[in-house]
Amino acid sequence: MAAGHRDQVRLGAFLADAEELTQSQLEGLANPLALSLEVGLPEDTSLLDEHDLDNYVFPLVSRLSRRGGRHFAAVFCTKQYADASYISVAEALPIERKVSDGWYEIQTTASSESAVFKQQIHDQLRGAFPLRQGAVALHLSFTVGPTRNWLNLWKPTIDALERILGSSSLQRQWHPRDGRIVELGLHCRRDPAIGNNVVIGIDATAVD
């Protein structure tokens, strides 16, 4: 969209407010960091259509990382009907992985900018069971080498999850029903031995 487009203006205001709200907190925190964003939406919107959560946190974490030279290792985002949204930052802490029935682990070798990256994910989910209709909680755990920008892996990974989330378009590939994700967790672990490959843990569950 053009720089003066209404959505771009609103995005700029959102990023500026979020940066101002977190600036003082970030100054006292050591890397790696965790960020939590709770998105409040008006009740006249459809909670399970559009308002994709990665579209909120990707520009936000990108800006905070770029301007402050900070490293985020965990990002959480939710959406619900509410009059206000909330943001918080803290030092990231390692947790023990809990494997659920909706857990899949795959490996990619291609650039995240290529269709091959998505295809590799799609092919390795051949035995995945699609989630029932309704809201979804999705957590993605990325193991990457030191040169990978893990933020660039978020969107293409989600785009490749049609076998889990369902498709929003029968005519176009890589268009999952990701608007139904109401809870998104993104986690990063760095492993120098992995090189340019990426190991992705996918934990997707239906929520009431």
Question: What DSSP assignment string belongs to 149-188?
Answer: -GGGGHHHHHHT-HHHH-BS-SSSSS-B-GGGEEEEEEEE
Over residues 69-79, the mean pLDDT reads 95
Kindly report, residue by residue over 34-65, the tens digit of the pLDDT. 999 999 999 999 999 989 999 999 999 999 99
Kindly report, residue by residue over 147-189, the tens digit of the pLDDT. 899 999 999 999 999 999 999 887 889 999 999 999 999 999 9
Q: Which DSSP category does 28 fall into?
A: T
Q: Which string of b and e fits 178-195 if b means at least 16 CB within 10 Å?
A: bbbbbbbbbbbbbeeebe
Report the chain's mean pLDDT, rounded to a whole number. 93
pLDDT at 109: 96
pTM for this structure? 0.93
Share of the chain above pLDDT 70, in %: 96
